[in-house]
Amino acid sequence: MGSMEALLLRFGLIMVFLGTAVEGDVTMMLAGVTAHLGMFRLAEAVAVGALGGFAGDVFYYGLGRWHSSTIRSTELYRRAEPVIGRFTARFGPLEIIVARFIYGTRVASMVFWGVQRLPLWRFALIDALGCALWAAALGGLGFTLSGSAVLLVGRVRRVRVWLLGALLGCAALVLLYRAILRRRAAKRAHAAETPSS
């Protein structure tokens, strides 16, 4: 049993709230699985998961809104803004809901809307709807698939470990290749500087 599953079983809905505020997707699926095991009701898991997701989103929105000048001045934001801007141009503020379902875009989107100073009431209204839909979808999926969901989460984690290993291996090969090229270049430079007898 993984650490998140163990925490959910031990601390129940408190862990669902904290987990969905920070991480989200895996926690919500596991909350559905745990509800299927009878630790709490699915409706409770969905409501608490939606609240946790909403709390996390408001935090990132606030970060963007109250530190907008600092965030705008970063190189990362200057490079990311046109990309996020094109994505948000298609959906407008409803992109907040879409971001909930596209892995890796949630935090950047919430910060972006804070920086753009979308009115808080409007952000909260759209995000609450997005969180409710997201929690119901993933919690329901976990509840329905139950044992299969745990197996799927385990497989995803194993794939991530393999991908990380492959990435580190590739990085090591690139560094080795660069070191070999530098050594060859240094030998050529040394040979060119040494007068032939």
* Chain segment 152-172, per-residue pLDDT in tens: 555 545 544 555 555 566 556
pLDDT in tens, 26-85: 888 888 888 887 888 889 999 999 999 999 999 999 999 998 888 888 887 777 777 777
- Above 90 in pLDDT, residue 185? no
User: Is pLDDT at 86 greater than 90 in this prediction?
Assistant: no
Cα(4)–Cα(23) distance, rounded to whole angstroms? Answer: 11
Whether the per-residue pLDDT at 118 is higher than 60: the answer is yes
pLDDT of residue 126: 94
State yes or no: pLDDT of 128 exceeds 90: yes
pLDDT for position 78: 78
pLDDT at 88 exceeding the cut of 60: yes
Same domain? For 183 and 95 the reply is no
For the chain, what percent of residues have pLDDT higher than 70?
Answer: 77
Q: Indicate whether 134 belongs to any domain.
A: yes
Verify that 94 and 168 share a domain, yes or no: no
The pLDDT score that the predictor gives to residue 168 is: 60
Asked whether residue 85 is domain-assigned, the answer is yes
The domain containing residue 167 runs over which residues? 158-197
The verdict on residue 153 lying in a domain is: no
User: What's the total number of domains in the chain?
Assistant: 2
CA distance 122 to 133: 17
How long a stretch of residues is the chain?
Answer: 197
Do residues 26 and 157 touch, judged by C-beta distance below 8 A? Answer: no
Same domain, 51 and 80: yes
165 compared with 141, residue with greater pLDDT: 141
Round to whole Å and give the CA distance between 63 and 50.
20
Q: Has residue 151 been placed in a domain?
A: no
Same domain, 29 and 72: yes
Better-predicted residue by pLDDT, 111 or 83: 111
- Residue with the bigger pLDDT between 8 and 34: it is 34
**Greater model confidence, 9 or 2:** 9
Q: What is the 3-state secondary structure (H, E, C) of 149-179?
A: HHHHHHHHHHHHHHHHHHHHHHHHHHHHHHH
State how far the alpha carbon of 122 is from the alpha carbons of 90, 94, 153, in Å: 18, 10, 34
**Greater pLDDT, 149 or 67:** 67
